[in-house]
Structure 1
Amino acid sequence: MKLTVNDLFLLSQCAISAAYQAGRLIAEKSYHPITVNTKQGGGSLASQVVTEVDHLSQDIILQILLPTCERFDLALLSEERPDNRQRLEKDYFWCIDPLDGTLPFIESIPGYAVSIALVSRDGEAHLGVIYDPVEQTLYHAIKGHGAFCNSKPLKLKTIAPASDQKLTFITDRSFADFPLFDTVRAELNVIALDLGYAGSTLLLQGGAAMNACLVLEKPAACYFKFPKIQPGGGSVWDYAATACLFHEAGAIACDIAGNPLPLNGPDSTFMNHCGVVYASHLGLAERIINLYAQLKAN
């Protein structure tokens, strides 16, 4: 079933409502003790922890979105449910992370959000909704119809590089264990200086969704994750919503080779094999892509 523009707008409102309601629950639960468990996931702690709030948030989202699956013949992929692989058969599927950034949530620090996307079978995000329950900020995008922050058009802050301004790089905390961490940090500083900035700031923090959204809030920034052999490196539900948001905002969201993010891989939902680059402009993305190519060659 091919969706019309009106269908997409209706489904975006459903996703926004679901994100708001789940976000309110997450905000309320952030003031109370929570039960933390572990699950099979990637190689990092962030991919292995799960709480009762993840499941409660998912329940709220599914109450709203499951009826749309029947009406519009949609598949569904959500982090805390088994992948039934209908996403490979239906024309579209909901892609849900009910609590992206569970580890920051457990630690009571910002960096967590609700993330909901609608992805086509060929792996293109048509809707993206991100809700930050800490700042009560809603980002959403509809393919071909723009990106928005709290219902206002989202436009990138584009200013010329300044010699007194630092370029911001963002990645996950697990990157501190990268064997060439010190080399990469030095090279990021070189990139910043080459582009006309005073140097670089490297932030190791947060969940994937809020790390990406932080790029949109800064005049020049980049969120990246290098590929790795081990399963993990984020999953489809970590990147689908922000991929739509970035494309509609005129920013860059791609894999480490500069290709579109593979948001519906046949073998796994993990994306450790491809890495990600979210950048405020193409020149910055290309420098990160080239940096990884050089590291790999050496």
Structure 2
Amino acid sequence: MPPHSEAAFEPTPETDDHALAAELATAAGRVLLDIRARVGHADGKALKNAGDQGSHEFLMAELARTRPGDAVLSEEGKDDLARLEAERVWIVDPLDGTREFSEEGRTDWAVHVALWERGRLVAGAVALPAQDRTLHTVANGGAVVSAKEGQTLLVAPEPPPGLLRIAVSRTRPPEFVQRLAERLDVKVELVPIGSAGAKISAVLLGDVDAYVHAGGQYEWDNAAPAAVALAAGAHATRIDGTALTYNNRDVLLPDILVCHPVSASMVLAGIRDVSPGLSG
């Protein structure tokens, strides 16, 4: 059953991890839309706080009910280092893009729910509540977009010839990305988008061709989008080309590159050229 089905969906301990991630992210998105409507946009700080807390409490309660034996790492929760000994850890960002959430009319904010198991990401979902769709992994190893109309296979699209549209932060674009744009042998357009989840979703949906970030993130900022990107056949690594790793003691994960594999070597080479301190 698609997460956006009008029929009631009550996840249980028997629900598979991919479906659970998708349903919880989607349902948390509905919680956030309700909060947005109820609190309003007059006080942006109050709306941000209400959104962060409301979505976090919902996700923590549902994970405790459906996966009581699993650990959870949430942006809004206290980090329990017992997770380092756990075999399964849910990594969640209850509201990715609080600034955009607080701005009336913006749709580039998200909910992230990912599952790390024994050293790797195994499931993930990125809900875009104001766009009424959820991108998520599925049990066969691929990824889909779920919306009211049903599910559509999600496969990272190739960029158009001679053009690379790079998603960057609205407020903190990496300075080196401008230098990278000047170095690459294609026309580059820098496209400001809000949350990390919205940016990576834009890559997977073909609205942009790459996401390059080096301004500081944490594991919850990109675990779920990276899980979906990898399942959809995209390239997703650190900007030096090394693998993204999760459930680390230090949850800082400051940089990421997501793009179609056909662009990866060109972009990584360009990043090394403009950031000579990087190893690769």
TM range (shorter): 0.7 to 0.9
**CA separation in 1, counterparts of 2:231 and 2:190?**
26
Once residues 29 and 177 of structure 2 are traced to their aligned partners in structure 1, the CA distance between those partners, rounded to angstroms, is 35
Q: CA 1:93–1:186 in structure 2 vs 1: closer, same or farther (change >3 Å)?
A: closer
- Structure 1, 138-147 or 245-254: larger mean CA deviation: 138-147
- Letter of the structure 1 residue corresponding to residue 273 of structure 2: Q
Q: What's the TM-score, normalizing by structure 1?
A: 0.78
1:179-258 equivalences under 5 Å are: 181=175, 184-185=177-178, 187-191=180-184, 194-195=185-186, 199-218=187-206, 221-226=209-214, 233-258=216-241
Q: Distance in 2 between matches of 1:116 and 1:159?
A: 27
- How far off its partner does 1:50 sit? 4.6
How far apart are the structure 2 equivalents of 1:202 and 1:20? 29
Give the distance between the partners of 1:153 and 1:137, measured in 2 at CA. 13
Q: Deviations over 1:19-55 (max 9, x none)?
A: 22211121223334365559xxxxxxxxxx9511111
Question: Counterpart of 1:45?
Answer: none
1:95 and 1:145 map into 2 onto residues whose CA distance is 19
> 5+ residue gaps in structure 1?
1-6, 39-48
SS of alignment partner, residue 134 of structure 1: helix
- The match for 2:40 is 33
Contact 1:36-1:52 within 8 A present in 2 as well: no
- The code of the aligned residue for 1:265 comes to N
2:172 counterpart SS class: helix
Could you tell me how far apart the structure 1 residues matched to 2:108 and 2:207 are?
A: 19
Q: Does 1:295 align with 2:246?
A: no
Rounded to whole Å, the distance in 2 between the matches of 1:141 and 1:125 is 11
In the alignment, which residue of structure 1 is the partner of 2:5?
none
Q: Is the 8 A contact 1:9 1:142 kept in 2?
A: no
Match of 1:279 in 2: 259
Displacement after TM superposition at 1:160 (Å): 5.4
Equivalent residue of 1:51, what SS?
helix
What is the deviation of 1:219?
Answer: 7.2
When residues 203 and 100 of structure 1 are mapped into structure 2, their CA distance, relative to the original with a 3 A threshold, is same
- Contact 1:8 1:127 survives alignment (8 Å): no
Distance 2:201 2:226 in 1: 10
Matched-pair identity in %: 25
Are the equivalent residues in 2 in contact too, given 1:157–1:216 (CA < 8 A)?
Answer: yes
Match in the other structure for 1:155: 155
Post-superposition offset of 1:78: 0.8
Task: Check the 8 A contact 1:156/1:219 in 2, yes or no.
Answer: no
Aligned counterpart, 1:119: 116
Q: Distance in 1 between matches of 2:240 and 2:208?
A: 21
Aligned equivalent of 1:62, options 60, 63, 86: 60
Amino acid of the residue matched to residue 84 of structure 1? Answer: D
Which one of the candidate residues 70, 77, 99 is aligned to 1:74?
70
Alpha-carbon contact 1:76-1:86 (below 8 Å) kept: no
- The answer for the alignment partner of 2:7 in structure 1 is none
5+ long unaligned stretches in structure 2: 1-12
- Which residue does 1:3 correspond to in 2? none
What is the rounded CA distance, in whole Å, between the counterparts of 1:30 and 1:220 in structure 2?
28
1:173 and 1:8 map into 2 onto residues whose CA distance is 40
Question: How far is 1:242 from its partner?
Answer: 1.4
Query: Which runs of 4 or more aligned residues in structure 1 lie more than 4 Å from their structure 2 counterparts after TM superposition?
Result: 34-38
Aligned-residue Cα RMSD (Å) equals 2.5
- Give per-residue Cα distances to partners, 1:197-220, cap 9 Å, x unaligned: xx2210222111110010011176
Larger deviation: 251-260 or 56-65?
56-65
| 2:92 equivalent to 1:96 | yes
Give the partner amino acid of 1:139. Answer: L
Q: 1:171 aligns with which of 153, 161, 168?
A: 168
